[in-house]
Amino acid sequence: MYDVFNVPDFTFPKGFLWGSATAGHQIEGDNTNSQRWHEEHQPDFDGVPSGKACNHYQLFKQDAQMVHDLGHQAYRMSLEWSRMEPICGTWDEDAFLHYEQELQLYKKLGIKTFVTLTHFTWPQWFEELGGVSKKDNFKYFMRFAEKAVKRYDGLVDFWLVLNEKTHTLLPDGLNFIRLHAETYRLIKTLSKAPVSSAHMALQYWPYRYYDELDNTMAAYKDFQTNGAFLHAIRTGELIAPHEEGEDCPEAKGAVDFWALNLYTRELVDARKKNLRAPRFPHKFLPLINKPFYFEEFFPEGCTAMIERFRDYPVYMTENGCCCNDDRFRIVYIVLYLSALHDALKRGVDLRGYLYWSLMDNYEWSSFLPRFGLVDVDFENFKRTPKSSAYFYKEIIENNGFSQKILRKYLAELPTLTM
């Protein structure tokens, strides 16, 4: 049992960077030229379309002020390539100007920016060309990256090439690592800002802890998700199960910091064809009225995972809780920040934390999962900060956690029992 009222006070190092994260397609709305919009409007799409999402494209000035008012020192956002190049070779100056104005606003407000070049979306025309599955298509993405970096250099504090595409469980996984490496090298010729890609640091856990095959298959999936990217960055060699190994010298050292997205773990059952095991009943926590991947808190795994990333500075670029009862979000933040503090004590050079997400948003097929510090009414787009937003604001103001802060916002441990 996690008792947050028993967590000792802790502080983070001076200069630690606090903020929140978003993704363009999930909050902007009307991203009509993207491949995701196209998928959402196919007859076999299993979900609801993004529509206007949070209408952030129109309300970005209001949202930037909200980020500032909530005390955030950093903000992660993404550029929507499909807005900027809706037709291959045709550039939309209005879209370029829009993002320039948004970035200028954060600069004026004194908020550092992490800018992702592609967060699961790209133009439909790029998809029709075969996307990243064809190395010859890299030139289109890198052409976009070059234009964006040249336009916004000086307004961006950290560049992120990709989001969660650096693992080989995905089709074209090695190609994404190649694309990351080549784009990293390009950006380094254009900007002095540090560069990385946001990596999904997902931990796999054997369903039967001492079962040899469960452990073997957990290690297998871990290498596909984490090991292949780590190995490529550390050695310049691309290797993955069922792939021919090859040298990729441009990948060696192709990060200036580790950008980690971390939520929970997955259990691996080697007796199942898909290797998936259900949550342990004593850990199962259905926080929303929908089956979802986030049904367990596992902060201890956070410390263990981040210890693998000691060779560069680390920024947590996503970490957050999906729940209907905001009290669980407060509990989650306490537990995971405590785990991150433990990682610091173990020697990890952790320099910042970005909560996912600033506001409730479109979760790729549904509006039901709510990760936001800020509630969004998807009918009228009204933003209302939750208790967790003000709790987090005080964490930022104090550069750490205390029981005094916690007890202002949480009277008792939350429960799902009515």
Dist CA 363 CA 367 (whole Å): 6
Q: Where are the alpha helices (DSSP H) in 52-134?
A: 56-69, 81-84, 93-108, 124-128
Closest Cα to residue 375, out of 387, 389, 390, 385? 385
pLDDT in tens, 254-308: 999 999 999 999 999 999 999 999 999 999 999 999 999 899 999 999 999 999 9
- Here the CATH number for the domain that contains residue 310 is 3.20.20.80
Mean pLDDT of 350-365: 98
Q: Residue 170 has what pLDDT?
A: 84
Asked if the structure places residue 417 within a domain, the reply is no
- In this predicted model, what pLDDT tens digit does every residue of 361-400 receive, in sequence order? 999 999 999 999 999 999 999 999 999 999 999 999 999 9
Distance of CA 383 to the CA centre of its chain: 22
> Does 415 reside within a domain?
no
Rounded mean pLDDT of 109-127?
98
199, β-bridge pairs = 260
- Given CA atoms 117, 73, 15, 407 in this order, what sign does their dihedral have? negative
CA-CA-CA-CA dihedral for 180, 185, 191, 197, to nearest 10 = 20
Going by DSSP bridges, is the β-strand pair 237-238/246-247 parallel, antiparallel, or unpaired?
antiparallel
Whether the CB-CB separation of 334 and 393 falls below 8 Å is answered with: no
Q: What percent of the chain has pLDDT over 90?
A: 98
Quickly state the pLDDT bin for 171 (edges 50, 70, 90): confident
Q: What integer pLDDT is reported at residue 317 of this predicted model?
A: 98
Per residue in 123-148, pLDDT (tens digit) is 999 999 999 999 999 999 999 999 99
When divided into structural domains, the chain yields a total of 1
Residue 123: predicted pLDDT:
98
126-135 contacts: CB < 8 A, separation 24 or more?
Answer: 126/35, 126/81, 126/88, 127/35, 127/38, 129/88, 131/35, 131/172, 132/165, 132/172, 132/175, 132/176, 132/179, 133/171, 133/172, 133/175, 135/175, 135/178
Query: In this structure, is residue 16 part of a structural domain?
Result: yes
Whether the pLDDT of residue 408 is over 80: the answer is yes
Token pair 């800020």 is at which residue? 374
Residue 418 lies in a domain: no
- pLDDT band of residue 1 (cuts 50, 70, 90) is low
Q: In which band, very low, low, confident or very high, does the pLDDT at 107 lie, cut at 50, 70 and 90?
A: very high
359: CB partners within 8 A, 6+ apart: 22, 27, 54, 63, 372, 373, 374, 375, 376, 383
Q: How far apart are CA 206 and CA 218, in angstroms?
A: 6
* Residue the block writes with tokens 């298959």: 217
Contact 300, 283 (CB under 8 A): no
pTM, full prediction: 0.98
Using DSSP bridges, classify how beta strands 374-376 and 383-385 pair: parallel, antiparallel or unpaired.
Answer: antiparallel
Pairing of strands 400-401, 10-11: antiparallel
Asked if residue 313 belongs to a domain, the reply is yes
What was the pLDDT predicted at 417? 81
Average pLDDT across the chain, whole number: 97
At 78, is the pLDDT very low, low, confident or very high (cuts 50, 70, 90)?
very high
362 located within any domain: yes
Residue 283 within a domain: yes
Averaged pLDDT, 43-53: 97
Type of residue at 57: Y
Non-local (6+) Cβ contacts of 172 within 8 A are: 131, 132, 133
The answer, yes or no, to whether residue 418 has pLDDT greater than 70, is: no
- The stretch 299-328 carries a mean pLDDT of 97
Asked if the model's pLDDT at residue 191 lies above 80, the reply is: yes
Give pLDDT, residue 116: 99
Reduce the DSSP state of residue 204 to 3 states and report it: strand
Domain carrying residue 126: 4-409
**In a domain? residue 416:** no
